[in-house]
Amino acid sequence: MEPVYILGSGRTDFKRNLKKEGKTIRDLITEAGRKAIADAKIDAKEIEAAAVGNFNAGQFTKQLHLGAFVPEIDPGLHGIPTMHTEAACASGALSVVLGAQWIAGGFHDAVLVVGAEQQKTMSSLDGGDVLGAAADYHIEKPEYGDFMFPKLFGKIAQIYMEKYGTSPDAFTWVAYKNYAHARLNPLAQMRDADLTYDYASQVSDKNPSVAPPLKVTDCSQITDGSAALVLVSEKYLKKHGIDKAKLPRLLGYGLATDYLALEKKDAPIFSTARNAASKAFSMANLKPRDMHGVEVHDCFSVTEICAYEILGLAENGKGAELAMSGATALPQVRNEKVSGKFDFEIPVNAGGGLIGDGHPVGATGVRQVVEAHQQLMERAGERQIKGAKKFLTFNMGGSLTTAVAMIWGRD
């Protein structure tokens, strides 16, 4: 297979409200795409294909056929083949995988990948119903009612606690950590939120329980945003005299799809998602603790804890203990609330994750790889993971229905 490299990346500020700016998803796609092309210092005419990850622009914005916005990024892209990928919250990661497969298979030497979602277009109730399309809507809507996803993941949290005897304190620590990380990220949605551990741990008027044991602070945000990547082949780099050792390369990836309904899955083990992770590690010939940084899909705090175990960072039932140890926090955000008892460190969601950075659904999987690119290129600023050479991203859609794991590395 032809090696796949990241030549450039870009993203938008996730704190913005595009509707208030008088802009649409067209603007999100074009803005991120232009930033990635500029970062790659590539002539747009050299890009041979593009993939656009998006979950539900048809309902959120009344707009689909999103690949047709790619030529508006730059006239040089007019006429190239484009595809739109959709797998709920894993839509963005699917677009990255598609672009990588085009290059690995020798079909193209330069590919643009964009993930985008505009969600701040309707009430929270209506938006929650649109998000419900990522679940088994006609079966689970009657059971869970409005705001299906907080309730689905509240159910996962209950199952986890009952199986392992876990305290909700572990969920609090994940939320606190990711808000603290977001304060180090100038483009994070919650960068200005000063969330204390005590506030996150208590139910209050401002932090109500939404799906016990989950509170508002345990939930990712409704977000407008986009992210983009320029992926290239080794052949492209040789042609242009670019040193491949200076760029992140895709070392391995895995993709797996479970049943749609939560009741058909083996929560909280999620063995199908583990298959995706196993494939990625096997292809890369690496182990979980070889990673220097990880981006996981923390749509809710419990998801991050499950992801620790899915990815092999912790044994079954030990994800909560790992969270509370402080091992997954950047050193600068650890405090007296963590045990400090860990035999390895691996910062998780250094940019804030979905809880702190934001969750523009179709963009999230691409944004995770943008974060990997910034960390591996040592361009992450205050949140930089020292000595990062191997980086793992884990994006999932639905109630851990579609799982995508990718490992990126730099020599």
Q: Write out the catalytic residue numbers.
A: 89, 359
Which structure tokens are listed for 216? 């508002």
H helical segments located in 148-196: 148-164, 169-182
DSSP state letter for 196: -
The residue count of the chain comes to 411
H helical segments located in 269-358: 271-284, 301-310, 319-325, 353-356
353 SS3 class? helix
| Single-letter amino acid, residue 99 | G
Helix (H) or strand (E) holding 7: strand 4-11
Phi first, then psi: give them for residue 51, nearest 5 degrees: -125, 140
| Single-letter amino acid, residue 222 | I
What order of strands is seen across the sheet that includes strand 390-397? 82-85, 49-53, 110-118, 224-233, 4-11, 249-257, 402-409, 390-397, 293-296
Tell which residue, 6, 48, 96, 55, has the closest CA to residue 223: 55
Query: What's the CA gap between 129 and 141, in Å, rounded?
Result: 9
User: Is the previous residue joined to 213 through a cis bond, with omega within 30 degrees of 0?
Assistant: yes
Which structure tokens are listed for 3? 């090696």
Residue appearing with tokens 């005419």: 45
Which structure tokens are listed for 237? 């780099």
Residue appearing with tokens 């691409």: 366
Sign of CA dihedral 294, 345, 3, 307: negative
